[in-house]
Structure 1
Amino acid sequence: MTIERKIREHLHKQAETMECPTDISKRIEQSYSQYFQQKRREVTMKKRLIGGLVAAAILIPTSAFAAPPLIEMLTRTPMTAEQVKMDKVSKETLKKLYSAFPETKSFKIIDASNVEGIQTSIILQEKGGTGKKITLHTNSNTGKIEHVNQENWEPKEKPLITLTDQEIKAKVDLLIDKMYGNIEDYEFTMEQMENLDQKTFMLNYIKKGSKTPFYQVFVQDNTISVSLIGGETTPSNSRVEGFFSLNGKPDYTADAFINDEKLFSLLKMNPTELKQELAKGKSVVEIAASKSVSKQQVIDVIAETQVKRQIEADKNNHSTEQLLKAIEPKVLQVIEHKTETPW
């Protein structure tokens, strides 16, 4: 029996005896959904399962809870164009798209798939295979289109990123307005992200004083990537998601570490402010240094919170010292990480 098979069978047995807390389950589903979109074409599903389970067993004790949700979500089912037209979520998604951009009715569905109960994805492109392309990721439960990628809608000779800031904003405004509705009441910010190989802009739209969803947009090369964050204007002590980004999309990998009230207090920042600074290409360590807070102080605060959570969930009675020693390298990796950088 191979070592991979032994590990897999052992983790299956362990997972069957555990109940996954709701908050951890939701976090795993969200993080894996994002990871899946970024990596599904790079490696096989079998290798990701083995790698993910081994990492869960070695790095973080509480990650053993990840086994059942991961197993359930590993089946991303390809869909044919005919199946898309028969699927309820897909039909509603296309209906919204065709209403927003009638020209897409002539586009060809070049790829489609779904993870049951989580997400349905559809990619359409102008016939000929080299023109305009649009990708839609829809929440299978709510029916909301959570991500829209619009590629090559500007001439190749004058791609989107070469336009003026005002022209770029106008293009983004149009896409959001068409897909989600009027955005006149939204406050707007636009920043060029630092330390990237390609020129990239981040745009944020939020409706002040209301519970209206806000949008985060990345513009790179000839692509607009819009995410419906589904957030609200929230108090400073509320959670924020997607502190980093990767390939122009929200990256939730470090959220469980950075969403720490003691960290926000130490840095004298609310989570939204911290996310905005990270989006500029800074690391948590660099942000802390600008506030005369040492790297070790940051490590201690985050590690203490993580260890407390693990002690509450750990059935193996690991000592605090053991848990701190195990978690500190991971904390260091998180606080030195910079947006748009692979982990």
Structure 2
Amino acid sequence: MKKRFIAGIVATAILIPTAAFAAPTLIEMLTRTPMTIEQVKTDEIGKATLEKLYRAFPETKKFEIIDASTVQGVQTSIILQEKGGTGKKIALHTNSMTGEIEHVIQENWEPKEKPLTALTEQEIKSKVDQLIHALYGSNETYEFAMEPMENPDQKTLMLNYTQKGSTTPFYQVLVQGHSISLSLIGGETSSSDDKVEGFFTTNGKPDYFADAFLNDDKLFSLLNMSPIELKQELAKGKSVVEIAASKNVSKQQVVDVIAQSQVDLQIQSEANGELPANNLSNDHMLQAIEPKVLQVIEYRTVTPSKK
């Protein structure tokens, strides 16, 4: 059965550390509301996230919560560090609707004298495997690939764990310096559908988050464009909103179509047992996803300036 990568509600953005690239990524953090330690420990998502962390890494029970926040009811973030303000640190970003930890940043878990990128490829993979196994379970069935990223400031490696037959990674990991940054993407199975990869790119790599929003048959119908035509127009530095306006389609029409498609996918995945039921209304889910839709459709590709 085909399982589409659901970006808006089920999966999160590929949160690439800002130090990794000179250019900004497509999906930036939304407005955050700070949380106190007491709020984290009484919040349903916060408590569940900490319980998962403590089961995976019992030593973190002694860590201090140094920062916590929510993003418009979409994401809950918690950062913990060893007492004393130095040493091991871990950041967890959890989908507030599904309860899934979608992004983890593990810092300073190795001796300072030797950065992770100085290890052998097998040693690096072993470190990442341990993190995935501790938080998500076995990853032995995934196909694995590692490649260096173009980063003049710091050696950076990308590791992709992909299910057989999938066109996108299930786990994508960036390793640089003393940090491991892991994103749960969820993968996407290949199909004969007329889909496009890389409507936008970051450092030459497809932005799968944006792809999952824009590969929408109802959107193509609304704009009266093929996926390839939309990609070509976006490459000229136009936003989806601007392209829609040229066709007398309003921003709200675009938002409504994409948001409803994402909610429909969420509901279908729950019905299929692929995700736990969240018992939220259609309107509530639409409200949660719309800010992310707006970020995608208002984004413009930065085109080289002509001299």
Q: TM-score, normalised by structure 1?
A: 0.55
2:112 matched to which residue of 1? Answer: 156
Q: Whole-Å Cα distance in 1 between the matches of residues 72 and 228 of structure 2? A: 37
2:86 matches 1:120: no
Indicate the SS of the match to 2:164: coil
- Letter of the 1:104 partner, please give it: T
1:148-227 equivalences under 5 Å are 148-209=104-165, 214-227=170-183
| TM superposition shift of 1:216 | 0.6
Q: Please, which of 249, 260, 265 is the counterpart of residue 313 of structure 1?
A: 249
Q: Relative to 1, partners in 2 of residues 1:204 and 1:264: Cα closer, same or farther, differing over 3 Å?
A: farther
1:1-343 pair list within 5 angstroms: 74=31, 76-209=32-165, 214-235=170-191, 237-238=194-195, 244-245=201-202, 261-262=227-228, 299=236, 309-310=244-245, 311-314=247-250, 333-334=301-302, 336=304
Q: How many residues align?
A: 228
CA offsets, 1:70-104, max 9 Å, x none? Answer: 9xx64x22111111111100000011111111110
> Compared with structure 1, are the counterparts of its residues 244 and 173 closer, same or farther at alpha carbon in structure 2 (3 Å cutoff)?
farther
The alpha-carbon deviation at position 177 of structure 1 amounts to 1.0
Amino acid across the alignment from 2:33: T
AA in 1 matched with 2:147: E
Q: Return 5+ residue gaps in structure 2 as ranges.
A: 1-7, 19-28, 217-225, 252-298
Q: Contact 2:64 / 2:80 at 8 angstroms: preserved in 1?
A: yes
1:172-196 per-position Cα deviation (integer Å, ceiling 9, x unaligned): 1110111111100000110001243
* Partners of 2:120 and 2:303 in 1: CA distance: 34
The letter for the 2-side match of 1:176 is I
Deviation at 1:313, TM superposition (A): 1.3
Aligned-pair CA distance for 1:34: 6.2
* CA shift in 2, pair 1:252/1:230, >3 Å: closer
Q: Is the 8 A contact 2:89 2:109 kept in 1?
A: yes
Aligned-pair identity in percent equals 54
- Mean alpha-carbon deviation: is it higher for 230-239 or for 105-114? 230-239
Which has the larger share of helix?
1
Larger radius of gyration, structure 1 or 2?
Answer: 1
Structure with more contact order per residue of length (Cα contacts < 8 Å, sep ≥ 6): 2
Are the structure 2 counterparts of residues 171 and 308 from structure 1 closer, same or farther at C-alpha, using a change threshold of 3 Å?
same
CA distance 1:86–1:158, shift in 2 (3 Å): same
Query: Distance in 2 between the 1:102 and 1:304 partners?
Result: 46
Residues 219 and 336 from structure 1, CA distance in 2 versus in 1: closer, same or farther, beyond 3 angstroms? farther
Q: Which residue does 2:256 correspond to in 1?
A: none
User: In 2, Cα distance between the equivalents of 1:305 and 1:243?
Assistant: 11
- What secondary structure is seen at the aligned counterpart in 2 of 1:92? helix
Structure 1 stretches lacking a partner, 5+ long: 1-25, 39-69, 267-295, 316-329, 338-343
Tell me if the contact between 1:34 and 1:252 (Cα under 8 Å) persists in the aligned partners.
no
RMSD of aligned residue pairs (Cα, Å): 4.3
- Measure the CA separation in 2 of the matches of 1:243 and 1:207: 23
Report deviation, 1:225. 0.2
What is the rounded CA distance, in whole Å, between the counterparts of 1:90 and 1:121 in structure 2? 8
Give me the TM-score of the superposition, normalised by structure 2.
0.61
